[in-house]
Structure 1
Amino acid sequence: MPSFLAHDGTELAYHVTGTGEPLVCVPGGPGRASRYLGDLGGLPRRLIRLDGRGTGDSATPADPGTYRWDRLAEDVEALREHLGLDRMDLLAHSAGANVAVRYAGLRPARLRSLCLVAPSPVAVGLTPTEEDWQAGLELRAHEPWYAAALAEFLADEGVERHRFFYGPWTERAAAHSAGAEEECGEAAADGFYAPSPVTPEEVRAGLAALDAPALLLTGDLDVHPCRLHARPFAALFRDATLVTLPGAGHFPWVDDLGAFVSAVSGFLDELAGRDGLTRRA
């Protein structure tokens, strides 16, 4: 398993799948190992999936304070240095979006593009409310499984509650959800949203100065309030494309891999053409 040393000496692992131009991927959770990203529905890129500290094949840090979302941005920079990339395309999912936008503000010259999938907007001050979550749950109120899944969701246990995070409950969705608990590092999850001195205003200012184009992609059935905050989130960028996939939930590459791959590849291919690059399939 390839690995590198973070700036504090913690050994971090990453996984490489596919071929073509590299796309560095930051998982969400928070604190979830990158395995759940898989090949992102067969996205035709060389995916470089980072296992965050204390998750997957990465080591546990000596300082638990380094689990915090803003400090994890330095691990992304250490990976970029290790890979020898002058500029990179960066994709982040869910809670990982907080890490990615902090990185974008700190090192805007190192980004060629930014893809945020079902992005958590906490770092920019768009904090989801209980009412936001309730609205997401009620999207599925007509489903025959709603009552049983809602009871499990509120109790935070059971298999049925995972249905809220997917569009159609297919065999693929059920298999994907099965690894949710075992893929999470408890300390990494607990430390991710620890109080930070970095303010939303500081993160927003970094995004306002970012020249790299951004894609924000959500599913219209996502229980997570990221779908409600996607438009104001996108407005914080100079150059942002907002895509909502119908019938998709929090893991759109699982629900509709064709639409997901088309949206992300289209965004990246357009950028590659603009830069005079040829994507290697």
Structure 2
Amino acid sequence: MEFFTSHDGTELAFRTVGDGPPLLCLPGGPGRAAEYLGDLGGLGAHRTLVLPDTRGTGASATPADPASFRVDRLVADVEALRRHLGLDRIDLLGHSAGGSLAMLYAAAHPDRLTSLTLLTPSFAAVGLPSGTGAREVIAARAGEPWHAEAVVAYDGMQSATTFAEAARYRFAFEPLMYGRWDDAARAHAAADPAQRSLPVSEHYYAGYTPDTDGLRRRLAALTCPVLLLAGELDLWPTAASAAEAASLFPDVTLTVQPGAGHYPWLDDPTALTTTVAAFLARSDDRRTDNRRTDNRRTDNRRTDDRRTSA
């Protein structure tokens, strides 16, 4: 585990996994420590994953003011980590509620991104729905033995007004969040309470109102490529919500992973890593091409300058 000091003096933790160019990965929950991301199904074989614990979670310090947990204010922590890493630009990935944070970072610091990967993201921070058609997705899984109990739990979570109130429904609801409710999924879901900070969960969106028009304008002006990856069986976001949100970005690749829920690296790690690694490789190639173009332009200007002076 490594540590850095953020803009307000809070000591925040992160760990690195894997090898290759860095990929900064923002966890969701909201309020869940980055441990649940693992190595994103083997993506660490292609990239060095930088996995920060959001303030108030995991090994990161908990500041006195819980208002600093709010999603728009966490943008400053992402920027502080970029500076700490000494990176002029970053490849950024956000999962779930971390996708909301990643979009706000992109809107605030577009010149600091080389690519943006949104992995089953929440669209709450940009004022778009995430659950379009969720009931249809749930109904399509009616043959599962856990289905009836999970639907009751889903309704309970939908009616809950706080994360603490929803917590008692969570485990019975969790099968709906995975493509396969197997031993690995059950262990992953069972780890949630120990990894989650309910105060961070409660304050993540509390008091936040998105500047929808402004955010859409800024995201529409992004020059970096965007990968928007949804799970076919996910509820937050549904594939339908992801398709609607794709129009936010001028250079976007929309991918729906078959048979995947909210954690696609568990449902089919090969599919997830292949898709993300290929996208990042294309981004690297385009960045190299852009540098070559810039160098040629510089060389041409120097040649023109020499001719003029002669």
TM range (shorter): over 0.9
Structure 1: which 5+ residue stretches go unaligned? none
**2:142 is matched with which residue?**
141
Would you say the 8 A contact 2:133–2:238 is kept in 1? no
**1:25 is matched with which residue?**
25
Map Cα deviations across residues 200-230 of structure 1 (whole Å, 9 max, x no partner): 2222111011101000001101122342211
Which of residues 74, 77, 80 in structure 2 aligns to 1:75?
77
* Over 4 Å off, 4+ runs: none
SS in 2 for 1:41: helix
Equivalent residue letter for 2:248 = L
Distance 1:21 1:203 in 2: 29
Per-residue deviation, 1:234:
1.2
Equivalent residue letter for 1:99 = L
The percentage of counterpart residues that share the same residue type is: 47
**1:98 is matched with which residue?**
100
**1:181 is matched with which residue?**
193
Distance 1:126 1:227 in 2: 13
**1:38 is matched with which residue?**
38
Distance 1:246 1:274 in 2: 28
**1:110 is matched with which residue?**
112
Equivalent residue letter for 2:253 = T
Would you say the 8 A contact 2:28–2:95 is kept in 1? yes
Would you say the 8 A contact 1:92–1:100 is kept in 2? yes
Would you say the 8 A contact 1:115–1:216 is kept in 2? yes
**1:122 is matched with which residue?**
124
Distance 1:229 1:56 in 2: 30
Equivalent residue letter for 1:260 = L
**2:234 is matched with which residue?**
222
Would you say the 8 A contact 1:218–1:245 is kept in 2? yes
**2:2 is matched with which residue?**
2
CA gap 1:26/1:258 in 2 versus in 1, 3 angstroms:
same
**1:57 is matched with which residue?**
59
What are the within-5 Å matches in structure 2 for residues 154-173 of structure 1? 154-155=155-156, 156-157=168-169, 159-173=171-185
Per-residue deviation, 1:91:
0.3
CA gap 1:235/1:158 in 2 versus in 1, 3 angstroms:
closer
Structure 2: which 5+ residue stretches go unaligned? 157-167, 290-310
Per-residue deviation, 1:197:
4.9
Distance 2:6 2:128 in 1: 30
Would you say the 8 A contact 2:69–2:200 is kept in 1? yes
CA gap 1:158/1:21 in 2 versus in 1, 3 angstroms:
closer
Distance 2:137 2:27 in 1: 22
Map Cα deviations across residues 78-133 of structure 1 (whole Å, 9 max, x no partner): 0000000000000000111111111101110100000000011112221346x744
SS in 2 for 1:275: helix
Distance 2:197 2:89 in 1: 30
Worse-superposed segment, 105-114 or 219-228? 219-228
**1:66 is matched with which residue?**
68
Distance 2:170 2:197 in 1: 19
Question: TM-score, normalised on structure 1?
Answer: 0.93
Would you say the 8 A contact 2:130–2:242 is kept in 1? no
Number of residue pairs the alignment of both structures matches:
276
Worse-superposed segment, 251-260 or 180-189? 180-189
**1:152 is matched with which residue?**
153
Would you say the 8 A contact 1:89–1:114 is kept in 2? yes
Structural RMSD (CA): 1.6
Distance 2:170 2:56 in 1: 25
CA gap 1:262/1:211 in 2 versus in 1, 3 angstroms:
same
**1:238 is matched with which residue?**
250
Would you say the 8 A contact 2:230–2:237 is kept in 1? no
Would you say the 8 A contact 1:120–1:226 is kept in 2? no
Per-residue deviation, 1:198:
4.0
CA gap 1:197/1:128 in 2 versus in 1, 3 angstroms:
closer
CA gap 1:13/1:110 in 2 versus in 1, 3 angstroms:
same
Distance 1:110 1:158 in 2: 37
Which of residues 246, 261, 275 in structure 2 aligns to 1:249?
261
